[in-house]
């Protein structure tokens, strides 16, 4: 049975650009919200309209700096204290997801810390897309709606009508993601096996599989400095590929990422708008996930399944 509680959609200060599009597709205006700062930078968010008894959706990606995460937590707390009926946090880009396990001694599991913080302010639900690792959903003791970027990327790749298509993962850890993508095209996959000296620095890489004469599409959940993707693209072209492009949901784009992409062997990099693009780059195409999130919000509000939003293969 559909909910009769009014829906209100709010945007954190760093995700207004995306939230406006989501609200447009949903058919509502964004709710009134103000973020004030003390002189030392301390955040003070407030809702400028009543949320009492409402189903509240708060949209904010938690890319750096950590102020974005802190703002989101304070917004949830403010909604709770204002007697919101149900609070869903919509985090298109879930920051700190790369730290999802102890891969060496004496390190934090940051994704779990963020999950605990969201639970501490009594969020009721999380909606996100293409987590770095799907098992992060298990860090939460409340429902998680994990959307898939394939819903927007597969139709675009299909529109290119690439012959002899091969799907590639830039590292072995992304094999499952690449395999899922490849099933939509009944395509073969290849893997790039990399060895790192340290974070964001690759020591060596090799391609496992045949790419000669193929149009290759590299699949990853995010692009940070671009070092891995650009190295993979170079090696794939050296192995005789006809073309190589990349699909990455979250354009973190730190350091020299734009320069690396511009000077790479990639024909294009296809990303979503979960994180705003700070620079223009002729090789980068941005596809919006706003309509996908709007449809998911509608289904959650009406207590319907969101599985229909996933592309079947």
- Phi, psi dihedrals of residue 70, rounded to the nearest 5°: -60, -40
**Is 194 an annotated catalytic residue?**
yes
Rounded Cα distance between 75 and 106, Å, is 32
Structure token digits, residue 102: 């102890």
Q: Which of 102, 183, 194, 285 is catalytic?
A: 194
Secondary structure in 3-state letters for 112-133: HHHHHHHHHCCCCEEEEECCCC
Residue in 203, 201, 194 with CA at minimum distance from that of residue 255:
201
**Catalytic amino acids?**
194
């Amino acid at each position: 049975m559909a909910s009769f509680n009014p829906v209100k959609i709010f945007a954190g200060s760093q995700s207004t650009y995306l939230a406006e599009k989501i609200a447009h597709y949903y058919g509502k205006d964004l709710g009134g919200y103000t973020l004030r700062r003390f002189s030392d930078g301390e955040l003070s968010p407030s809702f400028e309209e009543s949320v009492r008894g409402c189903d509240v959706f708060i949209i904010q990606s938690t890319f750096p700096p950590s102020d974005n995460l802190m703002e989101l937590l304070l917004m949830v707390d403010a909604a709770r204290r204002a007697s919101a009926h149900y609070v869903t946090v919509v985090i298109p880009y879930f920051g700190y997801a790369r730290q999802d396990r102890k891969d060496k001694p004496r390190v934090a599991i940051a994704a779990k810390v963020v999950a605990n913080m969201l639970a501490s302010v009594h969020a009721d639900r999380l909606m996100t897309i293409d987590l770095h690792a799907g098992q992060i959903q298990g860090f939460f003791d409340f429902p998680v709606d994990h959307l898939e970027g394939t819903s927007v990327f597969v139709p675009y790749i299909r529109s290119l009508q690439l012959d002899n298509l091969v799907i590639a993962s830039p590292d072995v850890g992304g094999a499952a993601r690449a395999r899922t993508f490849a099933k939509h095209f009944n395509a073969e996959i290849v893997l790039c096996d990399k060895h790192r000296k340290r974070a964001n620095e690759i020591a060596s890489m090799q391609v496992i599989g045949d790419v000669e004469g193929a149009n290759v599409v590299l699949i990853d959940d995010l692009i940070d400095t671009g070092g891995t993707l650009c190295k993979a693209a170079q090696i794939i072209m050296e192995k005789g590929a006809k073309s190589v492009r990349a699909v990455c949901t979250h354009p973190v784009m730190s350091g020299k990422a734009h320069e690396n992409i511009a000077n790479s062997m990639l024909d294009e990099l296809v990303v979503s708008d979960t994180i705003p693009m700070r620079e223009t780059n002729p090789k980068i195409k941005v596809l919006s996930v706003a309509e996908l999130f709007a449809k998911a919000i509608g289904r959650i509000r009406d207590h319907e399944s969101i599985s229909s939003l996933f592309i079947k293969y």
